[in-house]
Amino acid sequence: MTACVWREIRFLSILLMVLLIISSITGYTLAILFTGLVGYTLWNLYHINRLSRWLNNPSKKAPESKGVWDDVYYQLYQLYKRQRKARRRLKNILQRFQESTHVLPYAVIVLDSRYNIEWFNPAAKTMFKLNVKSDIGHRIDNLIRLPEFSGYLLNKKFDHQFEFKLAKKAIALSVTPYGQGQLLISARDITQQFLLDNMRRDFVSNASHELRTPVTVIMGYIELLLDKENVKKNHPLEKIQQQSKRLENIISELLVLAKLEAAQVIDSPAQLNTKKLLTEVFDDAIALDNGRHKLSTDIDSVKLNGRYAEIRMAISNLLTNAIRYTDDGGHIKLFAKTDPWGVTIGVKDDGIGIDYTHVSRLTERFYRVDEGRSKEQGGTGLGLAIVKQILDRHGAQLRIQSTPGHGSVFSCYFALGK
């Protein structure tokens, strides 16, 4: 019990004693006790009424009283002061938040768990032509009417952003779930970046196309000039032929990359005949390898959806790399396995391996660990960039484990449902 309750008990005991003394002197025990009790009850009712009035409309000045009520008023007043302070702080935070979201270049929209709009900032208002009066409380997919957007919301795969075109603008939108099922949408205008990307892609594609014909002509003439009888004369011509062949490979891989970048991602690709695909890739590798390595397979039956030609190219690039970067006599294994979470198709070798410092950069265009070896083996520096591009299009990941001097495992991981 608190000190004020003890004080009140003491007060009541004294009051009772006084009443008893008066009643023993006057002889009206019951009447005096009754009057005392009524007085005490009325006093408490008066304070309850006062308190309830103050609680209905708390003012800066709390009522004053005596005894236990003074304590109650004091405690409530402190609580009220603390709440007022917290409310003021919250109001400031809210105001600062609103000020910052007003100047934010990103569109920000808050949705409830049923995708109804709760709040949006001015950038969202401009970008999606939203209206505070009519659109708050409405489902966002009724306002941004795009089947792909509805699909994106329904799929709830918010780990990647959604890019789409709206009124000639390219928009990148990402969704972050928070609280109890609420969603925070942030969207930005990527039209400039989109146009620049398109220009870059077109440039690479056009330049590669333009280069293709002269290189083919050069190679044709070298073929004609090569004199089977004159080895000395042939040496420089063979060098030119080698370099032209490299150039031809680079051009065709640049074209492959440009095509992959420009192609639309298919939402529900067909199921692949993985057995046929892996057998074909493996047979090609055996032909390319020409008996230099010990090639083997460890292939479970796996179910995979995707584009046949693209997946075939990705696995083929990994196998070609294993052949390139494994010394003669080494082991190379093509494997495919399923676990409860997804499908992994990969290539394991016991070749030269890669230091971990290079691993994160291997999928960059023209990045090579050992440029000399890559060129000598006919590498273009684009193989893994193509693999990455293909896997991105399939929502899959390239995983690389490698130890210098011991070998590498390059695997394509397709999570279930992709």
Binding site for ligand ADP (CB under 6 A): 321-322, 324-325, 349, 351-354, 362, 367-370, 374, 379-385, 408
Q: Which residue, 222 or 362, has its beta carbon nearer to ligand ADP?
A: 362
Q: Which residue, 144 or 313, has its beta carbon nearer to ligand ADP?
A: 313
Strands 342-349 and 397-403: unpaired
Q: Which residue, 98 or 243, has its beta carbon nearer to ligand ADP?
A: 243
Q: Which residue, 345 or 352, has its beta carbon nearer to ligand ADP?
A: 352
Q: How far is the CB of 203 from ligand ADP (least distance, A)?
A: 21
What residues contact 96, with CB distance under 8 A and at least 6 apart? Answer: none
Q: How far is the CB of 366 from ligand ADP (least distance, A)?
A: 8
Q: How far is the CB of 400 from ligand ADP (least distance, A)?
A: 8
Whose CA is closest to 334, among 238, 393, 412?
A: 412
The Cβ of residue 414 has, within 10 Å, a number of other Cβ atoms equal to 23
Q: Which residue, 7 or 358, has its beta carbon nearer to ligand ADP?
A: 358
Whose CA is closest to 409, among 360, 354, 369?
A: 354
Q: How far is the CB of 384 from ligand ADP (least distance, A)?
A: 3
The Cβ of residue 322 has, within 10 Å, a number of other Cβ atoms equal to 28
Q: How far is the CB of 270 from ligand ADP (least distance, A)?
A: 27
Angle 85-88-91 (CA atoms, 0-180°, nearest 5)? 150
- Report the amino acid identity of residue 279: T
Distance CA 188, CA 291 (A): 54
Distance CA 389, CA 97 (A): 39
Q: Which residue, 171 or 369, has its beta carbon nearer to ligand ADP?
A: 369
Q: Exposed, middle or buried, 87 (CB in 10 Å: 0-12/13-18/19+)?
A: exposed
Percent of residues in the chain assigned helix, strand, coil, to nearest 5 = 55, 20, 25
Q: How far is the CB of 317 from ligand ADP (least distance, A)?
A: 6
Q: How far is the CB of 304 from ligand ADP (least distance, A)?
A: 22
The CA radius of gyration of the chain, in Å to the nearest whole number, is 39
Q: Which residue, 325 or 414, has its beta carbon nearer to ligand ADP?
A: 325
Q: Which residue, 107 or 347, has its beta carbon nearer to ligand ADP?
A: 347
* Separation of first and last alpha carbons in the chain: 64
Q: How far is the CB of 332 from ligand ADP (least distance, A)?
A: 9
What residues contact 264, with CB distance under 8 A and at least 6 apart? Answer: none
